[in-house]
């Protein structure tokens, strides 16, 4: 509805006629209709054959009422709390970022001390060189001094002016200048004479002083003359640190770089509004060893678009790729870019492990894992989590595992089950503290790792019952805590199982399927029970990494991978789409650097700490001593023979033993109960499971033999109503047994 000028409520300052040259601030965003233009437009749309409306018709009925605008005038009114919350997100820190983390502050102070110690040491070592230079330059300095004094005393500086006065025949001027010179020279001769006499007296005094003082005075004199004799182009002192070649990051440089990335949204926005298309929401500051710019990208452009062009950004900023770390902050919005440009290339940095010096460690506090590009320590929480590490070969998976393993073994309460299925012995230093350990690529090693998973599955089931039985005051959250872990008799201490090169297990023809099922089971249920699985693979595809594992694991570390598929297998579905791309890392050069997801609130680029073999050996020795002292060395570490997951029993034969020929089909749950009666030490844990878990247990156990389960009609053993439930056909078990035995014979 619009107001008319003849309306009694008409507001002359707001008559509904838009003044495009001077939009009133109050009208910001209001929908104002130019009636004349609108009507003429409407009439123009009519076909000439249509009857022309009468003037009244054209104007339409005049409606009365209050003008209601779509956009209300005045500033946007927000709830004050919401407005405060919004402001809170952009508060500048009271304490500088580097002082907020103890580790970062220590690192900065350490860096500054080392830097200045280096500068001091460098200059002290070169003192003889500087003394030599001063001596060589002293004669030239002496000549310059004498020359300067003579010129000053006899006012040679005024000579050209006096000559010019003569040449211009300016006698008055010349006379004035000559008089001035005479009076000046008279005074200066006195001064120079006094200085010379003083120097002479000083020289006589010095000749009567001890030799050390004479040398001291000579040194000072030579130094002074040497400084005076310095050639203009050669400084006396060498620079201990070459001037940083790092250009200070400025808004102009950032805008220039973003504008050449070829992102259509940025190019268009800049062409329309070169000044404000890219907004800096905070001043560009130093943040750690680099510069940080907080930027709002133009509307419609997301951080993922920029991440995609990190290489181009590196070229545009004229900095090595390893210095360019764009990051998003989706807690604000998807277009908020935090661009961090480091002074140092991350790929040339080796991160020292804080565990190198640690006497012991508590895994409940997480494990120090590496540094982010800004040099801040990143810790991986372990309890309540599982970890998946992946990359193409040679990118640092085993090194990352070594670092995690260091934290694990330095906590003497943790039971370590380590499996390294490459056979290179990278984890061998730790074998002396492991409850289970294997290194190898052959079938025996794979079988051992598969056995570990089967045993671990049982451990998880047993722990589940043990945790359930704990009194509520000891275990209010139904999960293992430090207090519970420390009560060894409960058997709920942390148990960490590492399988490096796990593709060799999961893709194994004989053990792969079952191992995959077990691992998935452990990942899903083990978390609250203190059981942690750490898997590393160089072949992240569906065959080598069951989707049940890649979908359920909670912490992921992806070093360089070749493509989107591998990226998302490790980092989770849509990671690539969301700009978390481990494809940006450079093969080999970026070894140890990867995206860490799930360990920190936001995905992070992290360079893992690196431990070489001797350092790993020292850590393992400390861990051994620690464990020996508290009595937690068990299993492999004590040279005990490995516990076997598969003692001498034969599931297929056992099933045939408990299912008579007369029963063609039987429910799984019935078979499990009968098996438990037959061999309680083996099947007892299965029978303790409830409902679907009991049925699923047998289904899973039969899978490796190719024996399928099906819907079976039956009635409960103790009597009751008939029903369809999951079961097996006896004939299928007989066939599976025949097949298996045939295979063994061949
Ligand atoms: N965090 C790191 N910092 C520095 N260099 C590293 C780091 N991690 C790995 N490297 C370098 O990369 C090399 C290969 O590392 P590593 O053996 O851990 O790779 P990998 O991914 O396990 O290889 P593969 O897939 O063949 O088992 C190391 O020898 C080391 O030179």
pLDDT of residue 60: 53
pLDDT of residue 62: 61
**64 — pLDDT class (breaks 50, 70, 90):** low
- What DSSP assignment string belongs to 646-681? S-S--HHHHHHHHS-TT-SEEEHHHHHHHHHHH-HH
* 608 CA closest ligand 1 atom index: 1
- Kindly report, residue by residue over 379-435, the tens digit of the pLDDT: 999 999 999 999 999 999 999 999 999 999 999 999 999 999 999 899 999 999 999
* 607 CA closest ligand 1 atom index: 1
For residue 346, report the distance from its CA to the centre of ligand 1, in Å.
Answer: 15
Mean pLDDT, range 559-588, rounded to an integer: 88
458 in a known ligand binding site: no
For residue 394, report the distance from its CA to the centre of ligand 1, in Å.
Answer: 5
Q: Considering only CA atoms, which residue is closest to atom 18 of ligand 1?
A: 396
Choose the weakest-confidence range: 57-71, 135-149, 266-280, 291-305: 57-71
pLDDT of residue 361: 94
In the predicted structure, residue 202 carries a pLDDT above the cut 80 = yes
For residue 609, report the distance from its CA to the centre of ligand 1, in Å.
Answer: 11
pLDDT of residue 66: 66
**697 — pLDDT class (breaks 50, 70, 90):** confident
Helices (H) and strands (E) in the chain, counts: 26, 18
Q: Considering only CA atoms, which residue is closest to atom 1 of ligand 1?
A: 592
Q: Is 495 helix (H, G, I), strand (E, B) or coil?
A: strand
* 393 CA closest ligand 1 atom index: 25
Which of 275-284, 498-507, 698-707 tops mean pLDDT? Answer: 498-507
375 in a known ligand binding site: no
**103 — pLDDT class (breaks 50, 70, 90):** low
Q: Cβ distance 537 to 501 under 8 Å?
A: yes
Maximum Cα–Cα distance across the chain? 145
Which of 300-304, 490-494, 531-535, 647-651 tops mean pLDDT? Answer: 531-535
Secondary structure letter of residue 343 according to DSSP = S
In the predicted structure, residue 22 carries a pLDDT above the cut 50 = no
In the predicted structure, residue 331 carries a pLDDT above the cut 80 = no
- Helix, strand, coil % in the chain, rounded to nearest 5: 50, 10, 40
pTM equals 0.59
Which of 67-76, 264-273, 540-549 tops mean pLDDT? Answer: 264-273
Mean pLDDT, range 218-222, rounded to an integer: 91
For residue 388, report the distance from its CA to the centre of ligand 1, in Å.
Answer: 16
For residue 588, report the distance from its CA to the centre of ligand 1, in Å.
Answer: 8
Q: Considering only CA atoms, which residue is closest to atom 2 of ligand 1?
A: 592
pLDDT of residue 7: 41
In the predicted structure, residue 54 carries a pLDDT above the cut 90 = no
Which of 207-216, 234-243, 589-598, 650-659 tops mean pLDDT? Answer: 589-598
In the predicted structure, residue 30 carries a pLDDT above the cut 50 = no
In the predicted structure, residue 645 carries a pLDDT above the cut 70 = no
268 in a known ligand binding site: no
In the predicted structure, residue 182 carries a pLDDT above the cut 80 = yes
In the predicted structure, residue 621 carries a pLDDT above the cut 90 = yes
For residue 672, report the distance from its CA to the centre of ligand 1, in Å.
Answer: 46
In the predicted structure, residue 373 carries a pLDDT above the cut 50 = yes
Strand partners of residue 283: none
Which helix (H) or strand (E) covers residue 218, if one does? helix 211-228
pLDDT of residue 234: 78
Q: Is 327 helix (H, G, I), strand (E, B) or coil?
A: strand
Which of 33-42, 450-459, 656-665 tops mean pLDDT? Answer: 450-459
For residue 558, report the distance from its CA to the centre of ligand 1, in Å.
Answer: 13
Strand partners of residue 285: 292
Q: Is 72 helix (H, G, I), strand (E, B) or coil?
A: coil
Mean pLDDT, range 104-108, rounded to an integer: 73
Q: Is 257 left (phi over 0), alpha (psi -120 to 50) or beta?
A: alpha
393 in a known ligand binding site: yes
Within 6 A (CB) of ligand 1 lie: 350, 391, 393-399, 422, 538, 591-592, 607-608, 610
Residue showing tokens 């009244």: 56
Mutation probe of ligand 1 site: the residue of 396, 566, 613, 614 with most atoms within 8 A of C-beta? 396
Mutation probe of ligand 1 site: the residue of 346, 350, 372, 394 with most atoms within 8 A of C-beta? 394
Q: Cβ distance 433 to 633 under 8 Å?
A: yes
Mutation probe of ligand 1 site: the residue of 419, 535, 544, 591 with most atoms within 8 A of C-beta? 591
392 in a known ligand binding site: yes
603 in a known ligand binding site: no
* 395 CA closest ligand 1 atom index: 21
pLDDT of residue 109: 84
pLDDT of residue 678: 83
Q: What CA–CA distance (Å, rounded) separates 121 from 115?
A: 10
- Take residue 454 and report the two structure tokens written for it: 């089967």
503 in a known ligand binding site: no
For residue 567, report the distance from its CA to the centre of ligand 1, in Å.
Answer: 18
For residue 539, report the distance from its CA to the centre of ligand 1, in Å.
Answer: 16
- Kindly report, residue by residue over 465-488, the tens digit of the pLDDT: 888 877 777 777 778 888 888 887
398 in a known ligand binding site: yes
- Take residue 304 and report the two structure tokens written for it: 């993922």
In the predicted structure, residue 3 carries a pLDDT above the cut 50 = no
Mutation probe of ligand 1 site: the residue of 421, 503, 592, 607 with most atoms within 8 A of C-beta? 592
Q: Any residues with CB less than 8 A from the CB of 225 and at least 6 apart, and which?
A: 134, 137, 138, 139, 141, 142, 145
For residue 320, report the distance from its CA to the centre of ligand 1, in Å.
Answer: 21
Mean pLDDT of the chain: 83
pLDDT of residue 606: 94
- Give percent of the chain with pLDDT exceeding 90: 39
pLDDT of residue 348: 86
For residue 426, report the distance from its CA to the centre of ligand 1, in Å.
Answer: 11
In the predicted structure, residue 437 carries a pLDDT above the cut 90 = yes
User: Terminal CA-to-CA distance of the chain, rounded, Å?
Assistant: 92
Choose the weakest-confidence range: 97-111, 405-419, 717-731: 97-111
In the predicted structure, residue 110 carries a pLDDT above the cut 90 = no
- Give percent of the chain with pLDDT exceeding 70: 85
* 426 CA closest ligand 1 atom index: 17
Q: Considering only CA atoms, which residue is closest to atom 25 of ligand 1?
A: 393
Mean pLDDT, range 115-141, rounded to an integer: 90
């Amino acid at each position: 509805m619009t107001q008319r000028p003849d309306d009694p409520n008409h507001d002359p300052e707001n008559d509904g006629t838009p003044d495009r040259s001077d939009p009133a601030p109050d009208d910001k965003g209001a929908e104002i209709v130019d009636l004349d233009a609108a009507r003429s437009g409407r009439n123009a749309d009519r076909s000439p054959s249509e009857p022309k409306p009468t003037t009244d018709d054209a104007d339409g009925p005049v409606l009365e009422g209050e003008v209601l605008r779509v956009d209300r005038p005045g500033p946007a009114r927000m709830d004050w709390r919401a407005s405060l919350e919004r402001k809170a997100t952009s508060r500048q820190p009271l304490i500088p970022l580097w002082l907020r983390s103890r580790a970062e502050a220590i690192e900065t102070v350490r860096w500054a001390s080392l830097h200045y110690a280096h500068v001091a040491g460098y200059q002290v070592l070169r003192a003889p060189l500087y003394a030599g230079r001063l001596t060589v330059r002293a004669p030239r300095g002496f000549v310059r001094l004498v020359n300067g004094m003579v010129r000053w005393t006899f006012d040679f500086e005024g000579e050209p002016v006096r000559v010019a006065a003569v040449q211009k025949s300016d006698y008055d001027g010349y006379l004035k200048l000559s008089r001035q010179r005479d009076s000046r020279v008279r005074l200066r001769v006195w001064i120079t004479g006094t200085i010379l006499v003083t120097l002479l007296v000083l020289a006589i005094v010095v000749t009567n002083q001890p030799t050390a003082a004479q040398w001291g005075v000579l040194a000072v004199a030579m130094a002074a003359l040497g400084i005076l004799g310095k050639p203009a182009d050669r400084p006396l002192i060498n620079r201990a640190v070459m001037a940083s070649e790092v250009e200070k990051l400025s808004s102009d440089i950032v805008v220039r770089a973003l504008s050449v990335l070829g992102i259509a949204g940025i190019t268009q926005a800049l062409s329309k509004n070169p000044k404000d298309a890219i907004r800096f929401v905070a001043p560009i500051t130093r943040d750690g060893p680099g510069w940080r710019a907080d930027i709002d990208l133009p509307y419609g452009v997301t951080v993922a678009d920029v991440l995609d062009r990190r290489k181009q950004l590196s070229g545009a900023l004229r900095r090595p790729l390893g210095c360019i770390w764009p990051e998003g902050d989706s807690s604000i919005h998807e277009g908020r870019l935090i661009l961090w440009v480091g002074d140092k290339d991350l790929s040339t940095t080796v991160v020292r492990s804080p565990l190198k010096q640690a006497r012991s460690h508590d895994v409940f506090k997480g494990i120090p894992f590496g540094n982010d590009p800004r040099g801040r320590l990143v810790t991986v929480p372990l309890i309540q989590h599982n970890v998946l590490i992946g990359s193409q070969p040679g990118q640092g998976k085993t090194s990352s595992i070594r670092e995690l393993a260091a934290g694990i073994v330095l906590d003497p309460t943790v039971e370590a089950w380590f499996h390294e299925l490459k056979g290179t012995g990278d984890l061998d230093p730790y074998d002396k503290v492991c409850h289970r350990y294997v290194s190898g690529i052959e079938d025996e090693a794979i079988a051992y790792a598969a056995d570990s998973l089967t045993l671990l599955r049982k451990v998880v089931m047993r722990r589940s019952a043990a945790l359930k039985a704990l009194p509520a005051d000891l275990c209010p959250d139904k999960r293992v805590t430090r207090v519970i872990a420390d009560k060894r008799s409960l058997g709920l201490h942390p148990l960490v199982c590492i399988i490096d090169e796990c593709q060799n297990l999961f893709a194994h023809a004989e053990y792969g399927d079952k191992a995959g099922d077990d691992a998935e089971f452990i990942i899903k249920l083990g978390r609250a029970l203190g059981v942690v699985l750490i898997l590393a693979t160089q072949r992240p595809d569906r065959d080598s990494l069951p989707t049940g594992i890649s979908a359920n694991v909670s912490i992921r570390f992806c070093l360089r991978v070749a493509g989107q598929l591998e990226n998302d297998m490790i980092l989770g579905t849509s990671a690539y789409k969301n700009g978390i791309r481990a494809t940006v890392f450079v093969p080999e050069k970026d070894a140890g650097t990867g995206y860490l997801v799930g360990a920190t609130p936001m995905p992070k680029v992290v360079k893992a700490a690196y431990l070489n073999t001797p350092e790993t050996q020292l850590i393992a020795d400390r861990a051994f001593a620690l464990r020996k002292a508290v009595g937690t060395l068990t299993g492999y570490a004590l040279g005990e023979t490995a516990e076997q997951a598969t003692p001498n029993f034969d599931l297929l034969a056992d099933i045939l033993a408990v299912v008579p020929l007369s029963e063609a089909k039987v429910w799984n749950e019935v078979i499990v109960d009968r098996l438990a009666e037959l061999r309680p030490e083996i099947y007892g844990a299965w029978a303790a499971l409830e409902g679907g878990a009991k049925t699923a247990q047998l289904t899973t156990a039969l899978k490796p033999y190719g024996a399928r389960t099906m819907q079976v009609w039956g009635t409960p053993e103790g009597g009751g109503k008939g029903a369809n439930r999951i079961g097996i056909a006896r004939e299928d078990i007989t066939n599976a047994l025949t097949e298996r035995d045939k295979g063994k014979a061949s």
